[in-house]
Amino acid sequence: MTHESHVSVKTGLPPGIPIYIGKQEPNRTTLSAIIYTELDFQIIDNIHPDDLKKIKELQGICWIHITGLQDIDTINSVLSFFSLHPLIAEDIFNTKGRAKIEDFGDSLFIVLDMVLSSSEQWQSQKINIITKDNLLISVAESGDPFENIRVRVTHPNGKFRTYGTDYLMYSLIDSIVDTYFFALEKIEESAEELEERVVHDPKPDIIRDIQTFRHNLIRFKRQVWSLREVIMHLERSDSNILSDSIRIFMRDVYDHVIKISEDLDVHREMAEGIMEIYLSSVSNRTNEIVRVLTVIAVIFIPLTFITGVYGMNFAYLPGINHPLGHLIIFGMMLVITIGMAVVFKLKKWI
């Protein structure tokens, strides 16, 4: 079923109905969990919804990670088991939605865009984070983007063992924000490459690359703006799920987002500058060509005049009957050509 057909199926349905909306077919759904306390941790892979009851009975903080949105029933059963709001399921399967945060009182639901910095083309995926009591559920469209967080959780001397679920939520958000810095590095590299090409080899096909670059900047700016709104709302939230100590961490993340937004504005100015450099280069090159052609045309004007006069069918013209007349005429033309070339050279026209 295509993206357009999913949209048409969803039209007219009541809110809370989970239907996948995305550009491509969803990946296979897999569930894994890590339960940890200050003293110990346990990793459980390939979870079945029937295993949730046993997992819930375990002591400690429970982090369930869901990869792939293919199995709607399985994901919906997980959300229903933990008594989460039905609107959460609807937003999870809408991968075209914008970044947002919803406070349902007993739970927080956050949707963010993670930039896939390893991809050659500009891509991102939706990351959903649900926090409730000692439970955190993260949902990704594909892969496991939080492998580094898993390693830190299993470290015996890590902060995860002493902090609550809100610190885990902060760590996931901070990891997502870090991907924007990687994207900024690629944007800076692309800007430098385009600037180098524009200065030294401004071919016509570079226009397409500049337009693609500017289009990616616009998309990135929209994502950063939505991310900024979510982090700002989260930092100022009065939710009981967030402790005061974690709000300090969130303030630091917000500063990072501001830095990303400011750097992005600089890169947008660079993109405009690159376009101006290209247009100036093309204009200068055109002027150079026109100048050369003008010089050539001016040189040939008197030569054309002479050949035109002596090409007319007059009986008497100066030197026409002289045995060396043709050499004299050619000499005059050569002298005129050299003289004009010297004048143009002195005026630095050539």
> What pLDDT score was predicted for residue 49?
87
Residues 222 and 307 grouped into a single domain: no
- Using the predicted structure, report yes or no on whether residue 314 has a pLDDT greater than 70: no
Task: Say if residues 153 and 36 touch (Cβ distance below 8 Å).
Answer: yes
Q: What is the pLDDT of residue 118?
A: 54
**Domain co-membership, 177 together with 302:** no
| pLDDT above 50 for 55 | yes
pLDDT of residue 237: 84
Specify the pLDDT at position 82: 92
Res. 293: pLDDT tops 60? yes
Contacts of 244 (CB under 8 A, 6+ apart): none
- The residue ranking higher by pLDDT, 151 or 173, is 173
Per the prediction, the chain carries an average pLDDT of 84
Burial (CB count within 10 angstroms: exposed 0-12, middle 13-18, buried 19+), residue 213 = buried
Q: Final residue of a domain: which of 279, 295, 312? A: 279
SS3 state of residue 41: strand
State whether 62 and 132 are in the same domain: yes
Say what the pLDDT of residue 1 is. Answer: 41
CA dihedral 196, 200, 206, 209 (to 10 degrees): -10
For CA atoms 326, 327, 328, 332, give the dihedral sign.
Answer: positive
Residues 108 and 139 in one domain: yes
Per-residue pLDDT reduced to its tens digit, 200-223: 777 777 888 888 888 888 888 888
Tell me how far apart the alpha carbons of residues 60 and 162 are, in angstroms, rounded to a whole number: 11
Amino acid at 271: A
Contact in structure between 108 and 239 (CB atoms under 8 Å): yes
d(CA 182, CA 100): 22
CA dihedral 278, 280, 281, 285 (to 10 degrees): 140
Residue for token pair 């002596």: 310
Query: Do 247 and 215 share a structural domain?
Result: yes
Domain that holds residue 290: 286-346
Q: Are residues 171 and 302 in the same domain?
A: no
Res 296 pLDDT > 50: yes
| Tens digit of each residue's pLDDT (9 = 90 or more) over 230-244 | 999 888 888 888 888
Tell me the average pLDDT across 40-63.
90
What is the per-residue pLDDT for 61? 92
Counted domains in the chain: 2
pLDDT of residue 342: 83
Model pLDDT, residue 169 = 94
| 217 strand-pairing partners | none
Lowest mean pLDDT among 6-15, 143-152, 291-300: 6-15
CATH number at residue 82: 3.30.460.20
Residues in a beta bridge with 135: 62, 132
Mean per-residue pLDDT, 246-274: 88
**Is the separation of the CB atoms in 91 and 72 below 8 Å?**
no
Q: Are residues 305 and 242 in the same domain?
A: no
Task: Collect all residues with Cβ–Cβ distance below 8 Å to 26 and sequence separation of at least 6.
Answer: 20, 68, 69, 70, 141
CA distance 268 to 262: 10
Residues 139 and 199 in one domain: yes
What is the pLDDT, as a whole number, of residue 315? 67
The mean pLDDT of 331-342, rounded to a whole number, is 83
Each residue of 48-85: b (16+ CB within 10 Å) or e?
A: ebeebeebeeeebbbbbbbbbbebbebbbebbeebebb
The domain boundary, picked from 233, 250, 279, lies at 279
Q: What is the pLDDT of residue 135?
A: 93
Verify that 268 and 310 share a domain, yes or no.
no
- Do 103 and 69 lie in one domain? The reply is yes
Give the integer Cα–Cα distance in Å for 87 and 102.
Answer: 10
Element spanning 131, H or E? strand 124-132
pLDDT reported for residue 10: 57
179 lies in the same domain as 223: yes
Structure tokens at 44: 């459980």
* Percent of the chain with pLDDT strictly greater than 90: 27
Which positions ≥6 away from 291 have C-beta within 8 Å? 349, 350
C-alpha span between 97 and 103 (Å, rounded) = 17
State which of 11-15, 117-121, 175-179, 195-199 shows the largest mean pLDDT.
Answer: 175-179
CATH code assigned at 315: 1.20.58.340
pLDDT of res. 9: 54
Query: What are the structure tokens assigned to 136, written together?
Result: 């955190």
Residue-wise pLDDT for 25-37, tens only, equals 888 999 999 999 8
**Alpha-carbon distance 93 to 72, whole Å?**
8
Q: Which of 279, 297, 317 is the last residue of a domain?
A: 279
Based on the fold, state whether residues 224 and 296 are members of the same structural domain: no
Q: Of 86 and 348, which is predicted with more confidence?
A: 86
